[in-house]
Structure 1
């Protein structure tokens, strides 16, 4: 196996990992360990090339620094990615990535992310102790997706109360992009709350299953951002909210589980200029890292810990939206200022 350190401004450590025997090519990025060891999941995707994979892991690791700080966890931000089709992943690839993570000596803890499962984490655990999201064990937290979805659901209700006049979602139309682990759980919560669902997913079978299970309307993936709805919930890949998309959305609220939803701060400003209320993703989707953190930190009563942290993030969402309204700026601007004040290396006055 070959591990090469890359010099990337703004990141503490970035590694390119290649293992010819297993066919593994991937990256590990540690954005910050200022608050504690970097934490963030391992994802597997079919990237166009190594440049796309590197760009993704860099953006995701920075987002994890913001997310752990928003949740006030004694952790930093990191991420790892494997290039390839997750349906064709092998144990050899996972074990090779586990060995690469082990070389960091605990500066980075990984867990389940897109294209991964608790069973995959158990395979990595055979090569490194710095794995969370395990399916069993004294502090095992398992699949973080249900807690991520619940946190997004709580944030969605807060935003709905401010933008639509009520936190009750009954009768509201929610356009949900992406029916992966988190998206599916969010769809379940939103439908149980009485909302009408419009969904899109790259897998037609998954979308059809949502139509049958939730009575959802299905549209093509390319059409979901054009749907007229009360709430848009991006739950797939990041960067979908470009300035151009922001100028054409027909929704009142954007609140979803995807990381790095804004392609740029300009996109967030464009949403604000149009009166569309955007809930900063790293605040809304913090439930997953909170769940994983309970395992990393060996918290005895994980359920109580997660419940308290989710409540704190819900309250934080309300404060951010209220302050953004008072200052007439996008919530993303307010969230960045508040969270950066919690980062020793980036501290700015909130």
Structure 2
């Protein structure tokens, strides 16, 4: 693994730590981008990477994205992320999760972890046996907590509706064609919400059987994963992994709006300008997908203070995502600046960068 500070995605991160525990087999990277606004909050990703450099790139980009996401959501949290390097079989053991919990605890509260790709609510429960700096724990009786995925999905759903009003001039989703890439917890949740509004949905997932099953359930169309980005639609909603919008894919897009929950959708900084040049309205990913971290942060700080927060309070905070997007789009149009640049500048100002 090359020196992380020479990586193009290194952005003056406060801490980048390689964790290796031979006994449990744990190899992980914990990256803290900023703690200017509070402890660095961000989930843990459990993923098999073809090469260590890809894991480092994910940790650096995702942690920076969390700084911006938390700042734009108005949360008293900085940004951090952890990636656990899974083997080809994605072997996950209690010992491995315990070792990871110890690594989080050793940071003394500078980092608060939660679920991300490949990590479950049960995994967070296991981690919580080793550290208190964890969120996304099971809840009951209408209290905040648990899987943040549904809150992420709700925020994206509301953001898509706001984008359709802004770009297409209609407040009805009936007949609006939405192509959804990724039908897991988040993408699947977005699809179910849009289906209730009468949207025409096209679904794709690397797990083709999962996409077909959901399509049959909600009356949507399922297509091959390699065709979803070029599908003719009003809204393209990426909800899988990032870096999908690049020099090759952007010219081939056949949509008016890009609005989805995948982190770091733009492969590089200039790709937001390419979308703008094509007249495609872009919802900056870390603004539209903030529902999950809003839930996580609300749960965590309530627990630290010995309180309980109702889900209704989280819902009210998630419902403010569209107004943030509208402010970004209005500034973008008034200044002629791509929406991702506008959002970045707002976030950087809030975290003192």
Task: Give TM-score scaled by structure 2 length.
Answer: 0.92
1:30 match: 32
1:77 equivalent among 76, 79, 86: 79
CA contact (8 A) 1:134 1:140 kept: no
Q: How far is 1:129 from its partner?
A: 0.9
2:115 match: 112
CA contact (8 A) 2:288 2:321 kept: yes
1:21 match: 23
Residue deviations 1:279-303 (CA, integer Å, cap 9, x gap): 0011100100000001111163342
Change (3 A) 1:90 1:44: same
Question: Which region of structure 1 is more displaced relative to structure 2, 221-230 or 207-216?
Answer: 207-216
Q: How far is 1:233 from its partner?
A: 0.3
1:297 match: 301
Gaps of 5+ in 2: none
Q: How far is 1:108 from its partner?
A: 0.2
Gaps of 5+ in 1: none
Question: Which region of structure 1 is more displaced relative to structure 2, 303-312 or 176-185?
Answer: 303-312
Change (3 A) 1:78 1:291: same
CA contact (8 A) 2:112 2:134 kept: yes
The 3-state SS of whatever aligns with 1:88 is: coil
Match runs of 1:38-53 below 5 Å: 38-53=40-55
Q: Which runs of 4+ in 1 moved over 2 A?
A: 5-9, 85-88, 136-140, 299-305
1:330 match: 338
CA contact (8 A) 1:70 1:313 kept: no
Q: How many residues align?
A: 341
Q: How far is 1:56 from its partner?
A: 0.3
- What CA distance in whole angstroms lies between the structure 1 residues aligned with 2:33 and 2:62? 9
Q: How far is 1:311 from its partner?
A: 2.8
- What CA distance in whole angstroms lies between the structure 1 residues aligned with 2:198 and 2:348? 37
Q: How far is 1:6 from its partner?
A: 6.4
1:314 match: 322
Task: Give TM-score scaled by structure 1 length.
Answer: 0.93
CA contact (8 A) 1:86 1:115 kept: no
Q: How far is 1:304 from its partner?
A: 3.9
The root-mean-square deviation of aligned C-alpha atoms, in Å, is 1.8
CA contact (8 A) 2:204 2:228 kept: yes
